[in-house]
Amino acid sequence: MRRMDAGQLWGPVTGRSRRRWAVLIALVAVALAGCSGGGNTPTPINQAANENGSGGTQAADPGGSGGKASAPVVPPAQLAVLPANGARGISPTAPITVRAAAGTLTAVSVRTPAGKQVQGTLSADHTQWTSKEVLGYSKTYAVTATATNPAGQPTKKSSTFSTVTPVTFTMPYLFPGPDLKSVGIGQPITVHFDEAIQDKATAEKALKVTASPPTVGAWYWFDSQNVHWRPKGYWKPGTHVTVSAKVYGVNVGGGIYGQQDASSSFTIGPSRIFTINDNTHSGVVKVNGKTVRTIKVSMGRGGKITVNGKTIYFTTYSGPHVVQEKYAVKKMSSASYGLPVDDPLGYEEDIPLAVRISASGEFVHAASWSVAQQGVRNVSHGCVNISPANADWFYHNFTYGDIVDIKNTGASLPRSDKYGDWMVPWSEWLAGSALR
């Protein structure tokens, strides 16, 4: 084949050939421009906008980081405090809580104006602080807290609140109290408030009895200041009992708040019951169901007299009595119930080995002067007379909460007597609760 040169390939340079060369040169220029861009990817739209028509091929760097991406923004930690800032009338038992979100707590302080620090506990993840002590009445508290986000940036918050100012306080007095560790099977639990309670239901909710083994029982309000708890039947010997009155911070009505909490624990001792039958003028003592002693007695002579307009009865009450007090020697006077000492039936004497069994003035005690009548007839003003030997045994073996159950005297122990609890039928007792 004959070799051709360029002129031969394209032919003679004519007007038409010049146009062909121009097209070829333009195509080559476009191809070269594509190669100089390092590839065939088009420039992004936003890149062109950022270049502001400068013709450059690199996007602008608004952060001035030399082309590197900006670090993500870390939100600040958030703090929430309860009670809220400015809150008033807060119960002193309401917990203070400080919570952190999007971070962790690094400092919490709760102080009184006097500078006393309130103690608290921090959750394991350091996101919640909770006070662990009760506050005071009529006090203002200042809360300051700091939380830090993951970037180490702190957030701080401060607030103040104040606790309630009561109209007055009431104190609950418990019996059995903390000093009495063992009582008998008939002992009721009593709570005496030194102010009249307007909201009995709220007060009763603050009272709790725990018994082991579990024991069925209930509260009964005798009046606005006295509420008792007793089992349906006598306590089981060996039962462990705890009673608490958590009234601090509780409004029991009319702006009256509990002054402080109270509690006690005790154990129920052996079953000791002295059952007296007025028909036979004698009684039988049983301990844990076993007869251990028979005792002759002389009780109230019966009848009545009127002195200065007051009627005085001389009959011993029937019904379950609860041992309440013990005296090695007790001064007794008929004047205590309205009968003058100088009356023919009056008296004032020191009585040995006296065990109180009612608030009405009934005692089981030694009576050497009536031994001949004991087991035969009644000659006392209402007490249970027994011989000195029997009185010594009874005094040293019976204790608080033990039962003296008197029968057939013709008069019943008033339920309003200090421990007349066992005179109230169970169905009626249940109705005496403020929560029924």
- Enzyme catalytic residues: 365, 383
Which candidate, 376, 317, 382, 373, places its Cα nearest to that of 347? 382
How many residues are listed for the chain in this entry?
A: 436
Location of structure tokens 């239901």: 201
95-to-82, 134, 151, 258, 335 alpha-carbon distances in Å: 8, 8, 31, 17, 55
363-366 sheet: strands from edge to edge: 325-333, 348-356, 363-366, 384-386
Q: Which residues contact 65 (CB under 8 A, 6 or more apart)?
A: none
Decide if 369 contacts 352 (C-beta within 8 A).
Answer: no
Cβ neighbours, 10 Å, residue 385:
26
Helix (H) / strand (E) element for 49: namely helix 45-50
Residues 185, 267: contact at Cβ < 8 Å? no
